Structure 1
Amino acid sequence: MGLPQQQNENQESAVVRLAKEKAAQAVKKKSRKLLKQAGKKIAKLAVKAIVKAIALLTKMLLSFLSTIGLPAIGIILGIILVVIIIMMATTWAYGGNEAKLTGKDKQLQQYILSQSYSTVDMSRPEQRKFRVPEGLIASVIQIDSMVKGNEDYKALIHKMAVSLKPIFTYDKFNEWTETETTVCRDGKCDPPKRVKTDHWVSKLTNVEAWDGTTTYTYSPYTTPWVTSVKVDYETQKNTETEQYIDNETQTFPANQNIPIYGWKSEKVCDETGCKLNNVWEIIGYNQYSSPTTKVVPVMKTKVVENDKKIEIDTTTRTRSQKFNVNENSTIDYSRFDQILNQYNLGTDDKKLIEALYSFAGGQISYSEWLSGSLGSGGYDYGGYVGYDGTVIPGGGVPPQFMPFYLGAEKKYGVPWYVLAGIHYVETTFSTAPNMVSSAGAQGPMQFEPSTWASVGVDGDGDGKADIWNNADAIYTAGHYLAISGWASDPRKAIYAYNHADWYVDKVLRYADQFKNAATYVGGSSTGSKAQQVTTVGDRWIGHSTYVFGGGRNQSDINSGRFDCSSFVHWAFGQIGVNLGDLSSTSTDTLNNLGIKVPYNQAQPGDIVFFDTYKVNGHVGIYLGNGKFIGCQSSSGVAIADMTKSYWAQRFSGNVRRLIQN
């Protein structure tokens, strides 16, 4: 999380200055009208919001009194109350509520609202909730106008909207579609044809808003096949020969035998049996003493065309790649605080902004953040540093970099999550398309070659320090922070890495996120087999393949080919626990081992089951904090969150304990 900048507690509040200087002008006719309308709103406001606003105002009034001489307390206190109430009413009115404004006031209200909507693309649903609230803009501009006496309200409103506008980051994801088509004609089918079509879509991955940061991580999955059948018909022209009898007149000479034609039955036999066929042939003869003309039947052949109706069945199966999304938000008012500091606002002024915004119905924890009660005021640079158990990354940190982060942490004393934060901010974990900056910085951790020449170290033991090598770059970042004074002033050390306060805040914000998203298993007080089994499979993360029925011979194991049950069998085997015959191991055999325990009593090292293609169709090893490690069809061996999305829907509640500590 970002850190609140040093607050000026002794700075005289803008309200006090206004009360002293402009007391006689505090109450105007317009303000009376707004107060009357705002009074109706007070009855409708949530009690919680009112109580918070009143509590903040009470604290501020006590603070204001400390800046005023005793003889003037009565007069000034009354004026301060009037000024604050007017500001609350004005904030409520200009903040888009139901105040019946007219003329320039109405125009100003509408302008605030339009500027609020301009901070996001309202045509994109995912951006709308990050819109800078109109009530917040109305709250801030009042204080600023008091400090600077600024009467150009529209310019101030526009500047504030632009300053607080969220920063959205989108990445491309391939939601491809695969289609398989099989065509059958008259019962004869062609081989199926598959076509895969890429469909790249933009998805929101990070938002830096005025009140914090939200990150979105996406995990792909393939939808089931969807089948459709289309039936068509076509007419096919066929030709075939056909015999027929035609009568012809023929002349026969005297004393010549004249054939007599007729049908004659013949017995025809083959391997299937015998049958009678009628054959047109000569059945006798006549003879005449003189030439004779006779009409004789003659067998002839002709070609005949006919139509045949053919059925064409087209079967189409379609599936696509989609993504489950995980959202992680962190409250951080660093950016908001920096903007207010530019206007020379003190702590009381900042708390007054929160009170005004709360009165207008807004939700904000700015004062808690300023005081450090949200954890930002006293950043824990050393939490989990030197942790001797297993650290399982979360929050999108690629597990393949963890050995480098932890190794550099051990050597240089810089927390692994700070190194991960720098790695993410610089090159998004080495995924930036061109890891060369406009200033000439290079590689995963963005060092300038001249700097690298003096500080670069060999992180992977290959005998050379390569600015493009992930291990070398991460170790060098730890080395650079160490020699820049990390042990005495961590914030100053990060500032030396990149000379910008916003950079320091951003790195620490992500560092805090990565630290809290990780799972910490084992440690100095633990070392049981149940805890050991949670880590033996880490070597296969990113280096394995899911094969149904795989992992049941040494060749598969050496190559990292497992299915879910063989991976569990292998993992327990690594710590000396035999789960039975490897060749026949399955989720069913594993479900018959150990004892069943309730999920709320699950411990790291237990095995958990999920209802996938069947009841208890998938199994993994529980790690704690709702996470498990297993061999998944979409990823090979990986750590998954069983409390969200796909796995949460399929977790059967079946937990079995195979090891009794």
Structure 2
Amino acid sequence: MNSLIPQQRDQEENVVVRTGKKFAIKKMRKLFKKGALAVAKALMRMTIVLTKMLITFLVGIFGPSLLLFIGVIFLVIIIFMSVQLFYSEGVGLDKVGKELRDYIILQSNQSVDLNDPLQRPYKVPPELIIAVMQIEYNYDRTPDKEFIKRIAELLKPTFEYDQYNEYTESYTETCSKDGCTRSPITRTDHYVSKLTHIEAWNTQANYTYKKRLGSFEKTGCSSRDISDPKTGEVIDTITTCKYTRKMTYVLESSVNTEDYSMLDSVLNSLGYGLNDKKMVEALYLLSGGKINYINWLQTTGGLGGIGGFAGFDGTIIPGDNIPAQFMKFYIDAEKKYGVDWYVLAAIHYVETGFSTHKTMVSSVGAIGPMQFLPATWVGWKYNIGGGQVSPSLDITSLAVIKAGGGYGKDGDGDGKADPWNEADAIHTAASYLAANGYSSNPRGAIWQYNHAEWYVNKVLNFASVFRSGATYLANGDVPQATKGAFMRPATGEITSGFGPRWGKMHYGVDIGLGGRSNVPIVAVADGVVKRSYYSSSYGNVVFIQHNINGVTYETVYAHMKNRAVSEGQRVKKGQFLGYMGATGHVTGPHLHFEIHQPSWNTTKSNAVNPVTIMPF
């Protein structure tokens, strides 16, 4: 852990909407006395402040009258439209303002090769840069040209190309009255670059190619006559024909995945909290852009789609890749601080290999199993430089830590908080992540641990491995295993069956929550997880492929609260997959379950009524 100072908490504006109205009127009067560029800056600041007031109102912190609320909404919209008019359209800007706007557009255009049609769609939008600029104005930081260039560079997409040999093969065939002969095949290499991967501010794209070797085709012939030297009579004709074929690589698949990791990393580096990120999205949406950042952040992106199991009701048996002696510390810390156990395990592994590193002291002086700087542990009032504290200071003393405002925690109840003790260090890491907003912005919290995006991704990758390797034995209403290949996916009443419903076809069955909580969903048979992700329609969904007596099936478990399995994982009949939930397009919490033979497709033409396959 190399962070010196924890991220400053988001601060809500402690004002009521009435105060906001007075503030807006006062500011508007001042605007008429300023130049166009200054007006734009003031409008940006006012937009942010008023939007924060609006967010504060929406979450119920204050309770102004509806009429006043509508008035503030209208004012916010007008102000934002003015900002867009100034910077997006260039209307009303003075010389300095126009120069700044032109520079934003220049940096946006330079983020890709505009002559390449494959790159153009991934250009950094000027409106996104402007949205970030507005947050900077709110923090009394002036986003100059250097800042604009830095943001454009950080959000610049990367394009990866591979070399493919699209060679040409050829041979000649020479024929006469005596027959035909072929020459050996010769090959002429020709390497071409093809795009294989794109990482942009809002997406990851992967392209795969397959070989296609053509057939030999005649490309030309030439003939010459052979004459009798005595009579001059043509006695034979020699014909030589050339045949060629070409190896090409054609696009086999292209997969575009919504991914805001790059944007999130940039905003984390600026110290933005969740509310700031919400406003970046809101401002960009108001300018006409398309963005799903916050939804991604709070579903698939927050923990890479693996979150949501803090407080699991049951027994967790770790896989062979986690030392069992540490599980109690992870689970206890998870219950106390709401940080997923497998994320704590991943940090423990990334930092010190589960406490196996020889010294457990980093190059910058971070110490112990979870690598805390002494000043972070005991409090920065004791810092003597570089995050270190005086050797005479008892950094395990709870009183010293409390006085210094440090993060150190007593995880095992022995009256001390020792950074070299696994229980204490793991509890402290959980407390640190929770204090940095893990519950609402886990990527941002993990970023604060090391201030590097590679670190966040590495931790999340191992977290996914550790979570998938564990066995979850859920308590509560688990469906009873039955004889035969299949069993029910969950207990409860079928609230909607297979067949026509509301003028449309319902391709599965719905099992209702029925007023219960933490209802486990299990695999109906042995199989392999084909997909585990968050869908806008299915919500949290798991697809499992089964091979039963030589027959292939694919089952679908949709609208889950969370997911305990990952793509490629082998599962057993009755294995816990997650809890019943209400994610995606739903009217209430339930499990939507489908079965397809042999596999799922977008038209669901292979759907089978589940009650004809398994006991319900």
Shorter-chain TM-score bucket reads 0.3 to 0.5
* Bigger RCO of structures 1 and 2 (CA < 8 A, at least 6 apart): 1
Q: Which protein has the bigger helix share?
A: 1
Radius of gyration: which is bigger?
A: 1
TM-score normalized by the length of structure 1 = 0.45
